[in-house]
Amino acid sequence: MVAGGGPAGCGAAVAAARLGARVLLVEASGCLGGMGTSALVSAWSHMSDGRASVIGGLMLELVEAMYERGHIAPSYDRSFWTTRHNRGLGYDPEGYKRLLDEWCEGAGVEVRLFTKVIDVDADAAEGHVAGVVVHGVDGYAFVAAEAFVDATGDAVLAEACGAPSLRAGRDTERIMPPTLCAVQTGIDYEVFDRGLQQAAVERAIRDGFFSQDDRHVPGLFRSGRDHAIMNAGHVFGMDALDGKSLSAGMRRGRALAAEYTDFFRRYVPGCADITLVATGSLMGVRESRRVVGEYELCYDDYRERRHFHDQIAIYCKQVDIHVYDDSPEEYERYLRSFEERDVLAPGESYGIPYGVLVPLGWSNLWVAGRCASSDVMVNGAIRDQPACVMMGQAAGTAAVQALGSGERADALDTRRLVETLRAHGAHLPQGELHGSMTRRTTGVARPG
């Protein structure tokens, strides 16, 4: 049973189904893809360390299929996931939706759209989940299963189970602001130059144009021949886990999308005819809840570019902590982060070990994607979609291994897991393998 059909959930469901499991994938919205489709964040961050590709397995399959189908934006070629350093690419969200439909159907995954996990039957002392309560167009249902993957982004299932978690704004000082992204059309790409955008932002701030003086504007990213996604307008102070705050945030996000459309039209060459087509139906949430896992991938690991014997993926995106407010000091702090060791040099990458997928002390529950176990800084690196797909593939593969062998999630033979992932295309270059997982050494009491 996989909760959430974003990049992590689709990766988990397809991996498990291809290994022979009977899989139900429950998705709250009307399509698969999560932030990549419903939130219109239609871009994949870094997939190459500048020398070679760091992705493999299902993620490589996805990007190749999107490319073959013409759903990768013009100007991006294979070098963007094989050899280019520090580059992402934009894709067409509609093409991605259909590919994910076919992908899940082809693997035999049973997909339930408009269906939400709302409760669980779980024994927190034993670390065991018996089933989940879902609500969809048919009403309520109890779904019993043997293994569960939480890929909801917000760790909804794990939280309902009573698994330990960290909530942004409660367990952290501040919440990284979300952005309601949008699709734009009418841009003249012969004229538009992203390099001119920041000077335009500064000019508009001097003119008193904006309702907030936010200097950090990621901006427009081409996602197809005639369309681009707009990632602009931080919704400061919003809490994605608070219904009232989220609702107000969506209203504010839509107002900001209109405001930034006007900004591009007035201040940025090539955007005179820009037209706002649609805003996302989901808020673009960067930070909400992360589980406390058997391992927490932390900033020191990242800075050391640490690799692990039990890593289930390697990745190369830099830490990306957006401004927390619209003060000039915050923008300075943001800019400085790119001058320090946060940016990876060509050939550098870091490992994501298995333990980030396992809530501390749980036997048949995994998490994957944005809600996996890391500190805030590293979350700002591995929350990106390629890493989420790879974590999902690993969680789905681990669940099937556990079903077959009777192993617990928190005591899984990681040597076997890595070997199975490699056999299914994962790029895992570590040398010697061990059966036991890398665990956290300090800090948190084990449940039960």
Ligand X SMILES: Cc1cc2nc3c(=O)[nH]c(=O)nc-3n(C[C@H](O)[C@H](O)[C@H](O)COP(=O)(O)OP(=O)(O)OC[C@H]3O[C@@H](n4cnc5c(N)ncnc54)[C@H](O)[C@@H]3O)c2cc1C
Residues 263-302, mask of contacts with ligand X (x by CB under 6 A):
---------------------xxx----------------
| DSSP conformation letters of 142-162 | EEE-S-EEE-SSS-HHHHHHT
Question: Which of left, alpha, beta for 20 (phi over 0: left; psi -120 to 50: alpha)?
Answer: left
Min dist. Cβ of residue 244 to ligand X (A): 18
Residues 396-425, mask of contacts with ligand X (x by CB under 6 A):
------------------------------
Among 177, 355, 369, 396, binds ligand X (CB under 6 A): 369
Cβ-Cβ contacts under 8 Å for 414 (sequence gap 6 or more):
309, 310, 354, 433, 434, 435, 436, 437
Min dist. Cβ of residue 146 to ligand X (A): 19
Number of residues this chain uses to bind ligand X (CB under 6 A): 41
Min dist. Cβ of residue 406 to ligand X (A): 28
Q: Does 57 bind ligand X (CB under 6 A)?
A: no
Among 385, 397, 401, 438, binds ligand X (CB under 6 A): 385
d(CA 306, CA 227): 38
Touching ligand X, residues 149-188 (CB under 6 A): 151-154, 156, 178-179, 181
Neighbours of 197 (CB within 10 A): 21
- Write down the residue that tokens 């999630």 correspond to: 409
Q: Which is nearer to ligand X, 284 or 355 (CB)?
A: 284
- Write down the residue that tokens 């550098």 correspond to: 348
Among 19, 21, 44, 61, binds ligand X (CB under 6 A): 44
Q: Does 95 bind ligand X (CB under 6 A)?
A: no
> How far does Cα 236 stand from its chain's mean position?
20
CA-closest candidate to residue 86, choices 317, 306, 382: 317
Min dist. Cβ of residue 377 to ligand X (A): 15
Q: Does 127 bind ligand X (CB under 6 A)?
A: no
CA-closest candidate to residue 264, choices 180, 196, 178, 177: 196
Cβ-Cβ contacts under 8 Å for 365 (sequence gap 6 or more):
122, 127, 129, 147, 148, 149, 150, 157, 158, 161, 163, 358, 359, 409
d(CA 359, CA 331): 35
Among 71, 222, 252, 370, binds ligand X (CB under 6 A): 370
Q: Which is nearer to ligand X, 238 or 413 (CB)?
A: 238
Among 1, 2, 7, 373, binds ligand X (CB under 6 A): 7
Q: Which is nearer to ligand X, 58 or 309 (CB)?
A: 58
Neighbours of 207 (CB within 10 A): 10
CA-closest candidate to residue 56, choices 379, 352, 271: 352
Among 17, 19, 27, 49, binds ligand X (CB under 6 A): 27
Q: Does 14 bind ligand X (CB under 6 A)?
A: no
Among 381, 383, 394, 409, binds ligand X (CB under 6 A): 383
Among 8, 111, 344, 356, binds ligand X (CB under 6 A): 8
Strand pairing category for 148-150 and 365-367: parallel
Q: Which stretch binds ligand X (CB under 6 A): 43-51, 259-267, 268-276, 290-298?
A: 43-51
> What is the C-alpha radius of gyration for the chain, rounded to an integer number of angstroms?
21
Neighbours of 212 (CB within 10 A): 14
Among 2, 13, 28, 161, binds ligand X (CB under 6 A): 28
Q: Which stretch binds ligand X (CB under 6 A): 6-14, 59-67, 71-79, 141-149?
A: 6-14
d(CA 373, CA 254): 31
Among 1, 9, 56, 354, binds ligand X (CB under 6 A): 9
Residues 323-362, mask of contacts with ligand X (x by CB under 6 A):
----------------------------------------
Neighbours of 251 (CB within 10 A): 11
Neighbours of 226 (CB within 10 A): 13
Min dist. Cβ of residue 413 to ligand X (A): 26
Among 1, 4, 111, 267, binds ligand X (CB under 6 A): 4
Name the site residues for ligand X (rule: CB under 6 A).
3-9, 26-29, 34-36, 38, 41, 43-45, 88, 116-117, 151-154, 156, 178-179, 181, 231, 284-286, 369-370, 383-386, 388
